[in-house]
């Protein structure tokens, strides 16, 4: 089936969603950069570092499904903008934290606000491209987040040369609040993300009544396998990104080098979104996911014995593999969920994925305190390989969905 090219309206909606994703992922990965500074200032163990990281992602987990359900009543736009402003406010509060508990409270508030971004923005993009190149649009949307991951930690690392981390977090929080107001105006102009009655067909024959227990999952086995693969992949990514700075610091890196290393990882990740999309077109989703997971596990294991300089050279390739799987999996959610349930479907998928992401740093933080960061990251690399059989099992459900559409 040949899809129509994207219209100007679709591209504008995609641009607005990409802008939101850029700012949001900047929040997330600024936390990664600051973890070593917080450890030093507040005297934290690695278990406590993992717990603080988990606080942010855990709050994001809690808000995913409520955000998706609320959007069915009030529309994506209002909930999305409110969440973005709340995330910015939480980062402003970080600048006033006087203890680890204060950090956790501010991060919980920011994470709750950030929870609206993935399911609601994904729904806005998927709905806008219902009759267009939806998978490509969601891939571009994912790519925009990687640009935020690259830009924000890199610029923050440079700013930390002369500024206190409190000034950096408060400043970026203010940027988030201003950006939320801008996105609200833009989405209103584009008439995107409004109340469902203004967007979805009103015929009861076309759209059945939304019930709390109806998730609109058209292929249950495929959705379960997709979610399980994404959960393990997310847990590995969270653990790796949380403790990578400490691995590098153990090899002699300072905070600016850590910031540069994160830029390298995310630059590779951004390239991975594009490269893996092209590979998926040629090899298929399943084979691409298998290749990226094998490369992820091998890449993490290779980092451990190498020098700091060698690690910096390898990190872009690790980032490419690390993020390649997520883009392939994420774009497949819409394949298994009915269009009128996309808000719930993306919300459920992201709740499961970010839930695993939230738990992971605390668990691997305990292991790091017991056995050291290198041993823990070795376990992470091996754990990533367990996704391979799950990805292979996706072949059948994806083929079934494709056959049902063509039929």
- CATH number for the domain harbouring residue 100: 1.20.1250.20
What is the reported pLDDT for 109?
94
Q: How far apart are CA 98 and CA 123, in angstroms?
A: 38
What's the pTM value of the predicted model, to 2 decimals?
Answer: 0.79
Q: Please indicate, yes or no, if residue 315 is contained in any of the structural domains.
A: yes
Let me know if residue 176 belongs to a domain.
yes
* Residues listed for the chain: 407
44 domain residue, yes or no:
yes
| Structural domain that includes position 80 | 8-198+216-406
Number of domains within the chain: 1
Q: Is residue 94 part of a domain?
A: yes
20 vs 26: CA distance, rounded Å: 10
Give the per-residue pLDDT at 211: 47
Terminal-to-terminal C-alpha distance of the chain: 11
SS (H, E, C) the chain: CCCCCCCHHHHHHHHHHHHHHHHHHHHHHHHHHHHHHHHHHHCCCHHHHHHHHHHHHHHHHHHHHHHHHHHHHHCHHHHHHHHHHHHHHHHHHHCCCCCHHHHHHHHHHHHHHHCCHHHHHHHHHHHHCCCCCHHHHHHHHHHHHHHHHHHHHHHHHHHCCCCCHHHHHHHHHHHHHHHHHHHHHHHHHCCCCCCHHHCCCCCCCCCCCCCCCCCCECCHHHHHHHHHHHHHHHHHHHHHHHHHHHHHHHCCCCHHHHHHHHHHHHHHHHHHHHHHHHHHHHHCHHHHHHHHHHHHHHHHHHHCCCCHHHHHHHHHHHHHHHHHHHHHHHCCHHHHECHHHHHHHHHHHHHHHHHHHHHHHHHHHHHHHHHCHHHHHHHHHHHHCCHHHHHHCCHHHHHHHHHHHHC
The reported pLDDT for the residue numbered 353 is 85
Measured CA to CA, the distance from residue 244 to residue 303 in angstroms comes to 10
pLDDT at residue 201, rounded to an integer: 44
User: Residue 198's pLDDT is what?
Assistant: 47
Residues of the chain with pLDDT under 70: 1-6, 132, 135, 196-215, 277, 327, 330-331, 339-340, 342-343, 401-407
Question: Among 321, 339, 396, which Cα is nearest to 124's?
Answer: 339
In a domain, 393, yes or no: yes
Whether residue 2 lies inside any domain: the answer is no
Question: Does residue 87 lie within any of the structural domains?
Answer: yes
The single residue listed with the structure tokens 């379960």 is: 224
| 219 Cα distance to chain centroid | 24
204 in a structural domain: no
């Amino acid at each position: 089936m040949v899809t129509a090219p994207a219209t100007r309206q679709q591209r504008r909606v995609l641009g607005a969603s990409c802008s939101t994703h850029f700012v949001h992922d900047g929040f997330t990965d600024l936390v990664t950069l600051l973890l070593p500074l917080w450890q030093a200032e507040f005297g934290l163990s690695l278990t406590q570092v993992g717990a603080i990281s988990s606080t942010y992602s855990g709050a994001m987990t809690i808000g995913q499904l409520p955000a998706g359900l609320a959007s069915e009543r009030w529309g994506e736009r209002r909930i999305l903008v409110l969440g973005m402003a709340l995330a910015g406010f939480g980062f402003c509060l970080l600048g006033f934290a006087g203890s680890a508990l204060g950090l956790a409270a501010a991060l919980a508030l920011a994470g709750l606000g950030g929870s609206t971004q993935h399911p609601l923005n994904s729904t806005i993009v998927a709905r806008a491209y219902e009759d267009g190149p939806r998978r490509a649009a969601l891939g571009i949307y994912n790519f925009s987040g990687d640009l935020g991951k690259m830009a924000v930690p890199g610029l923050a690392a440079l700013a930390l040369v002369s500024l206190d981390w409190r000034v950096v977090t408060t400043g970026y929080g203010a940027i988030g609040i201003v950006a939320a107001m801008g996105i609200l105006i833009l989405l209103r102009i584009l008439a995107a993300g409004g109340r469902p009655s203004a967007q979805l067909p009103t015929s009861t024959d076309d759209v059945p009544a939304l019930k709390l227990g109806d998730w609109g999952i058209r292929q249950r086995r495929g959705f379960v396998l997709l979610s399980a693969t994404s959960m393990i992949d997310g847990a590995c990514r969270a653990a790796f990104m949380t403790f990578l700075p400490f691995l590098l610091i153990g090899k002699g890196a300072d905070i600016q080098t850590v910031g540069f290393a994160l830029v390298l990882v995310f630059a590779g990740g951004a390239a991975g979104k594009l490269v893996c999309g092209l590979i998926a077109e040629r090899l298929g989703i399943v084979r691409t996911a298998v290749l990226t997971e094998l490369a992820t596990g091998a890449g993490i294991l290779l980092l451990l014995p190498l020098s700091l300089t060698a690690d910096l050279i390898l990190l872009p390739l690790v980032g490419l593999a690390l993020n390649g799987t997520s883009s392939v999996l994420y774009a497949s959610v819409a394949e298994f969920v009915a269009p009128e349930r996309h808000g719930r479907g993306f919300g459920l998928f992201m709740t499961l994925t970010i839930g695993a992401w939230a738990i992971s740093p605390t668990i691997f933080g305990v292991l790091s305190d017991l056995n050291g960061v290198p041993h823990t990251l070795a376990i992470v690399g091996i754990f990533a390989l367990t996704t391979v059989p799950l990805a292979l099992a996706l072949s059948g459900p994806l083929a079934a969905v494709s056959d049902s559409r063509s039929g």
